[in-house]
Amino acid sequence: QSALTQPPSVSGSPGQSVTISCTGTSSDVGGYNRVSWYQQPPGTAPKVMIYEVSNRPSGVPDRFSGSKSGNMASLTISGLQAEDEADYYCSSYTSAGTPVFGGGTKLTVL
Partner 1 sequence: QVQLQESGPGLVKPSETLSLICTVSGYSISSGYYWGWIRQPPGKGLEWIGSMYHSGSSYHNPSLRSRVTISVDSSKNQLSLKLRSVTAADTAVYYCARDIVGASGAFDIWGQGTMVTVSS
Q: Which residues bind partner 1 (CB under 8 A)?
A: 1, 3, 32, 34, 36, 38, 45-48, 51-52, 57, 89, 91-93, 96-104
Contact of 73 with 66, CB cutoff 8 Å: yes
Residue whose CB is less far from partner 1, 85 or 101: 101
Nearer Cβ to partner 1, position 74 or 105?
105
Three state DSSP letters for 42-100: CCCCCEEEEECCCECCCCCCCCEEEEEECCEEEEEECCCCHHHCEEEEEEEECCCCCEE
Q: Which is nearer to partner 1, 76 or 101 (CB)?
A: 101
Nearer to partner 1, 69 or 97 (CB): 97
Q: Output DSSP code: residue 98.
A: S
Q: How far is the CB of 30 from partner 1 (least distance, A)?
A: 15
Q: How far is CA 70 from the centre of its chain?
A: 16
- Residue 14: φ, ψ to 5°: -55, 135
**Minimum distance between the CB of residue 43 and partner 1, rounded to whole angstroms?**
10
Cβ of residue 91: shortest distance to partner 1, in angstroms? 4
Nearest approach, Cβ of residue 32 and partner 1 (Å): 8
